[in-house]
């Protein structure tokens, strides 16, 4: 089981997450107005910090919808994973997989009318998506790092349509694993993606809070980072 923490902004954040036992760290680039948005240079420097960690691995989290811009960012920062957060088409996944060895994570959204997106799941899989991330849309339409939990039935309603592994996001906390027992038991479940519950009251990433989530969700030591569709 993987533990991904989203929105690191400094080398101190990176070191803290590594100490706390996170497996993946989400680095924001191409997230307009995002509180953890990084320039391309900042992304490259922060990724260098991640590569020096014992356990942690970097994930580019982006709303970018242009293959050339994504190639530039992932190559410049040496990021092996990219999370397409937004409504990018399957064709973008295909373009990335055709010319790179990136592990591609495609977000699927919960809590809104998802019929159109559900109809594209098979196309995303054929295009080469390695993992999906199931995340909740806020009531006002915001996507990403909303802290809004998804109902277990809603998660399973999409998970049962998948043939690729998935991560769960949206309102994950240190003490709500049991509410998602059926999701955790799903054969394609691979881990969790956390932002809000990893932060202290001032919004800073907290080693103690990340460690608490890890304990609460029983993330094992040395969980490892695996790509591909297995």
- Structural domain contains residue 223: no
How many Å apart are CA 208 and CA 230, to the nearest integer? 32
**What pLDDT shows up at residue 228?**
45
Question: Average of pLDDT values for 168-193?
Answer: 95
> Is residue 76 assigned to a domain?
yes
What is the Cα–Cα distance from 6 to 87, expressed in whole angstroms? 19
- 222 inside domain: no
Q: Residue 146 has what pLDDT?
A: 56
Asked if pLDDT for residue 226 goes beyond 80, the answer is no
| Contact (CB, 8 A) for 156 and 182 | yes
Give the Å distances, CA to CA, from 81 to 12, 96, 180, 218: 21, 11, 26, 24
Going 52 to 57 to 62 to 64, the CA torsion angle's sign is: positive
What number of other Cβ atoms are within 10 A of residue 52's Cβ? 12
In a domain, 56, yes or no: yes
Q: Torsions phi, psi of 8, nearest 5?
A: -70, 145
Q: Which residues contact 2 (CB under 8 A, 6 or more apart)?
A: 23, 24, 167, 190, 191, 192, 219, 223, 225, 226
Question: Which domain CATH number covers 110?
Answer: 3.20.20.70
* Closest C-alpha among 98, 21, 91, 81 to residue 47: 81
224 found inside a domain? no
Q: For residue 48, what are the domain limits?
A: 2-216
Digit-coded pLDDT (tens) for 75-96: 999 999 999 988 899 999 999 9
R_g of the chain, CA atoms, integer Å: 16
**What is the number of structural domains in the chain?**
1
Q: What is the pTM of this model?
A: 0.90
pLDDT, residue 34, reads 87
229 or 9, which is more confident: 9
**Residue 172, domain member (yes or no):** yes
| Residues forming a β-bridge with 37 | 28
Residue 42 inside a domain? The answer is: yes
Residue 88 domain flag: yes
């Amino acid at each position: 089981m993987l533990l991904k923490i989203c929105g690191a902004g400094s080398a101190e954040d990176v070191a803290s997450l590594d100490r706390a036992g996170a497996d993946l760290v989400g680095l924001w680039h191409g997230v307009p107005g995002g509180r953890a948005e990084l320039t391309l240079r900042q992304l490259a420097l922060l990724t260098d910090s991640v590569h020096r960690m014992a356990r942690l691995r970097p994930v580019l989290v982006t709303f970018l919808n242009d293959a050339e811009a994504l190639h530039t960012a992932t190559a410049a920062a040496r990021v092996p994973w990219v999370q397409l957060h937004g409504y990018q088409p399957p064709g973008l996944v295909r373009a990335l997989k055709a010319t790179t060895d990136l592990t591609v994570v495609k977000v699927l959204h919960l809590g809104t009318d998802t019929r159109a997106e559900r109809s594209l799941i098979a196309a995303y899989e054929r295009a080469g998506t390695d993992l999906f991330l199931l995340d909740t849309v806020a009531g006002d339409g915001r996507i990403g790092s909303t802290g809004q939990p998804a109902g277990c039935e809603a998660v399973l309603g999409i998970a049962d349509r998948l043939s690729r592994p998935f991560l769960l996001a949206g309102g994950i906390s240190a003490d709500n694993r049991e509410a998602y027992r059926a999701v955790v038991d799903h054969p394609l479940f691979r881990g969790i993606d956390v932002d809000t519950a990893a932060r202290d009251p001032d919004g800073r990433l907290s080693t103690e809070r990340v460690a608490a989530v890890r304990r609460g969700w029983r993330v094992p030591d040395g969980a490892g980072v695996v790509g591909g569709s297995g």
